[in-house]
């Protein structure tokens, strides 16, 4: 993932100048250049059809039991903000009482969020896909 520059809206002119200079130095680093070149490779085409599959009451109950405090109590974003490798996991719930989504970068295999996502993958047509 290419580096992202963030300049707070309330930064002074001197702070903005320093942040820009730091960012430019970071971009000039050969390791960052290699990382950006790697990230700019063409995407691999994945041939798949989007499918919708219902779940039974038992499957839904099992899914809900994986979360100790409930899916709707998880914060939308985790604390992992700067990672160079891995996978992004996104789980959305559309229910009568609203919408909730949880986004994580390479959650640990013991994480309740990942375990719940893996359960849903296991009962889906994507069960054989590689997971990171």
* Number of domains within the chain: 2
Q: Does one domain contain both 82 and 37?
A: no
Look at residue 101 and tell me whether its pLDDT is greater than 60.
Answer: yes
* Structural domain containing residue 37: 9-41
Q: Does 19 reside within a domain?
A: yes
Q: In this predicted structure, what is the pLDDT of residue 13?
A: 92
Q: Does one domain contain both 62 and 93?
A: yes
State how far the Cα of 1 lies from the Cα of 37, in Å rounded to an integer.
Answer: 10
Query: Which two structure tokens, joined as six digits, stand for 26?
Result: 């970071």
- Mean pLDDT over residues 88-109, rounded? 85
The string of pLDDT tens digits covering residues 25-76 is: 888 888 888 887 777 776 666 666 666 778 888 988 888 887 766 777 777 8
Look at residue 90 and tell me whether its pLDDT is greater than 70.
Answer: yes
**C-alpha 95, offset from chain centre:** 22
């Amino acid at each position: 993932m290419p580096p992202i520059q963030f300049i707070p809206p309330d930064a002074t002119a001197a702070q903005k100048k320093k942040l820009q200079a730091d960012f430019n130095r970071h971009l000039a680093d050969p390791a960052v250049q290699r990382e950006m070149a790697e990230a700019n490779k063409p995407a691999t085409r994945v041939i798949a059809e989007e499918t919708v599959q219902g779940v039974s009451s038992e499957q839904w109950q099992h899914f809900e039991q994986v979360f100790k405090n409930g899916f709707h109590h998880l914060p939308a974003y985790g604390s992992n903000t700067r990672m160079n490798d891995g996978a992004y996991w996104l789980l959305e719930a559309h229910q009568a009482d609203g919408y909730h989504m949880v986004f994580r970068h390479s959650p640990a295999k013991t994480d309740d969020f990942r375990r719940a996502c893996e359960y849903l993958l296991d009962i889906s047509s994507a069960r054989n896909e590689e997971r990171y």
